[in-house]
Structure 1
Amino acid sequence: MGDEPNSQATSDASGHRIELSGPLTIARVGTTERSFEETPDPLIIDASGIERIDTVGAWLLYRTRKERGAEIVGANETVRELIAEVESQDQGVHVRPEKKPGPYQTLEELGHWTTETGKTFVGLIGFFGSVLIAIASILRHPKRFRFNAVVQRFDLVGVRALGIIGLMSFLIGIVVGQQGAVQLQQFGAEVFTINLIGRINVRELGTLMTAIMVAGRSGSAFAAQLGTMKITEEIDAMRTIGVSPVEALVLPRLLAAVVMMPLLAFWAMLMSLVGGGLFVWVGLDIPPLTYIQRLQEVTPLTDVWVGLIKAPIFGFFIALTGCYQGMQVKGNSEEVGLRTTTAVVQSIFIVIVLDAVFAVFFSQIGWN
């Protein structure tokens, strides 16, 4: 305690004077601050007796001079330099960033989105390349193919999705039939509701809604599973022991999505037709036999092929995007949620874009 700084207050014609002596450090600054508070203005601080000072002591002197207009006299070079350094760091901080004008902010967000989209596109191409390399490796060494992992993914992607996809498709068939009938009744053409149900569900909605459901269900699961394995360093451990994560984790998921998507799409087509048939039977008094005969007449086989051709391609891109985002997880568990959300959004976006491309392509080749 003999090291504690002393402060002695005196008064003269020029003002109230405080003489400091000893060290002025963080451990001793409390008593000095109280002395400053108890001394009225105008205040003169005599720093000639300070033996040692740190940034906290210098901040006290600087703040007192700034807020009360105190005069600091007798300070040696070290004290003056430290006060000047503290003063140079005393800058205002914006708790919230300044808002830019609307057009500039919009352009900045658009540029950021464009940059992220470009990075994702390049990353997906690179990831697709690694998948091709893994496929070539499996073809050269068939014993490395993990059949049990593929069967497990079949269960996850296909079998467990039958219920929700069937219910969704059944309800969509009813909705399409009801909305179509409301419009066609204005022209006395309710019978053409069957045409609408058959063509739109078989050609478009059956496969598209199945792909969206698989993206939200299985694509998100792929991203979350691989992301969690990245966080727990299981993927790094696999590389350490010489196991390729793409071969062991990505290929089974890709194969399961590609194989199960056509089956799920066909199931969705059937259930939507059943839902539509139930509606026209109850709401339009068209018996099931007439409904089935009319479906055979108005729904060409090419519509079924269009839906089934699109399905495996949709499944491939859903699995590819989900696995890619899962493999990009870094840092903490929050990143898993963000990447999972990104995987679902990107998968659905890619599916819709591909569906538009297929619509134009099949129209050009005459499969209308």
Structure 2
Amino acid sequence: MKRTMVALAAATSLLISAPAVASAAGPGWAGGWAASAQPPTAGFEPNWSLAGFSDQSVRQVVRLTAGGPLIRIRLSTVHSGPVSLAGATIARTAEGGAVRPGSLRRLTFGHRAGVEIPAGREIASDAAALPVGPLDEVTVTLHFARPTGPTTFHEGAAATSFRAAGDHLSDPSGAAFTETTHSWYFLTGVDVLDTSPRRDTVVAFGDSITDGAGSTVDADNRYPDELAERLHGRFGVLNEGIGGNRVLSDSPCFGEAATKRFARDVLSRPDVRSVIVLEGINDIIASDIEFECFVPNPEVTAADLIAGHRSLLRQAHARGVRVIGATVTPVKGFAAYSERIEAVRTELNTWIRTSGEYDAVADFDRALADPADPRALLAAYDSGDHVHPNDAGYHAMAAAVDLRAL
């Protein structure tokens, strides 16, 4: 058995060891974890994306939703210049910034410890023999010996990342990792070797509500996490939400429009079976908000948004991917709320529910709405801003997904 695993690891490495790949897909790989790439920005709380790294190690903790005998990572410079990575490791997570000593594995890229990542690319590491199961936590450590400049990152991680001066790739202790933020840097995926012949990955695609804004940090209570717990390895669940993302408009902070990033963030992921689409509220409210991250901010109609959703449907169906349409959740009580916003949201939701164009519907609107006033979130599900659910709300969203639809 051991000789078979070594041979499998070597063969898989040869298949994925090119320094840069056009897509993350590969024979036998499935998505275990993912995050969507964003441009460097100051964000809503302090982060390291604008300053970048120089002779520093960054340690990032993620929880997998699928398991397998081999593992690899994906790194992205989609929104930044070229970067020199001195080395990388992966290990089982211990407490805080620490890892389990016997689980540390050196990652290679084309059988080399380091790699030069060109600007605007995504690369995959070679395979590493670290058997993992669904809901296991792993820690990825990246060392940047030379200055990176501003970084591609994912702002709203709802998880703690750690930074230390110097090379701490093989350091099992978390003692040196004294600096923290709540974002991920360069890391956009962790894939596992899938021995099943079927496609086994579900992608949750959307904005901050998919991303998990308002959930408890380091608790893995975002709705895709809760959905993964329901599935417990039957399918992997990838979270491709970006806070502030819109269907139709690009943002200097929140990345490309959903219609543009869908191919990269959904269809290029390995082994994708189905996608849950929850997008539209930021398009609806942006025209009423003065915010540099919402530029341009045209006023959109439900017809505009339906055209955008149809673009996503066409892209997915052309690749044989099943699409579940999610209704847009209530926002009454939000500072910019208006009758116009409610009218557009209602018309879009009616189309999602009744048009028959989606393969199935996840009615998150009804799952979270206050029965006494369906335009508003139920107070027990409100994180406090009247837009984003709390942990209980995200649990209710996951419970509203019909697993047979996946």
Question: Smaller-chain TM-score range?
Answer: under 0.3
Higher gyration radius (CA): 1
Q: Please identify which structure carries the higher strand content.
A: 2
Q: By percentage of residues, which structure has more helix?
A: 1
TM-score of the aligned structures, taking structure 2 as reference length: 0.19
